[in-house]
Amino acid sequence: MLIGTVNDRAFLLSTEGGQLRGLDIEESSGGRFSSQTAELFPDWEALREWATSANFDATSARTLDFDELQAPVATPRQVFAIGMNYKDHAAEVNLDLPSTPAVFTKYVSSLTGALETVELPSEAVDWEVELVAVVGIGGRDIPKDTALDHVAGYMVGQDLSDRALQFAGGGAPQFSVAKSYKGFAPTGPWITSSDEVADPGNLSMTCSRGDEVLQEGNTSNLVFDLPYLIHHLSSVVELYPGDLIFTGTPDGVGFGRSPQQYLVPGDELVSSIEGLGEIRQRFVPKGEAPVNSALREKEASLA
């Protein structure tokens, strides 16, 4: 089951035949399910059952453009992100493997959808493709062996990072704000429900710029795997339905290169994870981002 958000409403999506089609979930279910993606998680199993009989040939099915896909979970209550969580990435940035997960947040205002134009706040903006888990059932003190039962699904994410601000604090690195500029947390293109992901601990991922492959990794190289992260986070805070967990990035980031390399205006970044689809960002100088079609529609509906 693929769940996306279009025009601020929850859609069931199909990519069959290479064509993106969608059904408005509230309309197509006769009001059985909410129009708001965030409210679907308590009903997730019933939704999955309903989705198996959904008819994409119905007249209510819409053909969608990729750039209509907004952040699948636009305002989660909590966003967790994990630093230095791949063995190869920790090595390239010359840091010891952490003995406990290095947790920070990406503030929710940085979340965007699958296809976005992002302004560059500095000349040191870096890429980090990441597997993002969406919490379905929350809780505290979740044991490792049942942790994956708490995951509704998975998305591709980018943990865009301004290394200039991140390390401006000297001995007090500023991970959270440096990774939360406008558009710095693209997610999507949709939520792939967890039943369709055989093993989240063995997913290959790539991040490319044009023809150049920047990162190639696999979640099998995680220092702390997803069950451990859910166990660890829930031993401190309560997890809520819809919370996001950015699980870390493999090696190949610009900061770890010699000489270091960063994004420049005109670059297009493509991030993909096996079975989950891909997201794309184009980069422009500060103050020059055009308004995308999802925002145009929203503004038109408000006018």
Binding residues for Zn ion (CB under 5 A): 128, 159, 249
By beta-carbon proximity to Zn ion, the closer residue of 166 and 194 is 166
| Minimum separation from the CB atom of position 135 to Zn ion (A) | 18
| Minimum separation from the CB atom of position 95 to Zn ion (A) | 13
* Residue given tokens 């044009």 in the structure block: 210
| Minimum separation from the CB atom of position 178 to Zn ion (A) | 11
| Minimum separation from the CB atom of position 264 to Zn ion (A) | 21
By beta-carbon proximity to Zn ion, the closer residue of 128 and 225 is 128
By beta-carbon proximity to Zn ion, the closer residue of 161 and 194 is 161
By beta-carbon proximity to Zn ion, the closer residue of 14 and 215 is 215
By beta-carbon proximity to Zn ion, the closer residue of 159 and 251 is 159
| Minimum separation from the CB atom of position 46 to Zn ion (A) | 34
| Minimum separation from the CB atom of position 81 to Zn ion (A) | 6
Residue 229 contacts residue 245 (beta carbons within 8 Å):
yes
By beta-carbon proximity to Zn ion, the closer residue of 29 and 161 is 161
| Minimum separation from the CB atom of position 249 to Zn ion (A) | 5
Instruction: Find all residues with CB under 8 Å of 69, minimum gap 6, and list them.
Output: 4, 5, 6, 113, 114, 115, 188, 189, 190, 294
By beta-carbon proximity to Zn ion, the closer residue of 41 and 255 is 255
CB nearest Zn ion: which residue? 159
Residue 39 contacts residue 77 (beta carbons within 8 Å):
no
How many CB atoms are closer than 10 A to CB 88? 16
Structure tokens at 252: 């190949």
* Residue given tokens 């992002």 in the structure block: 118
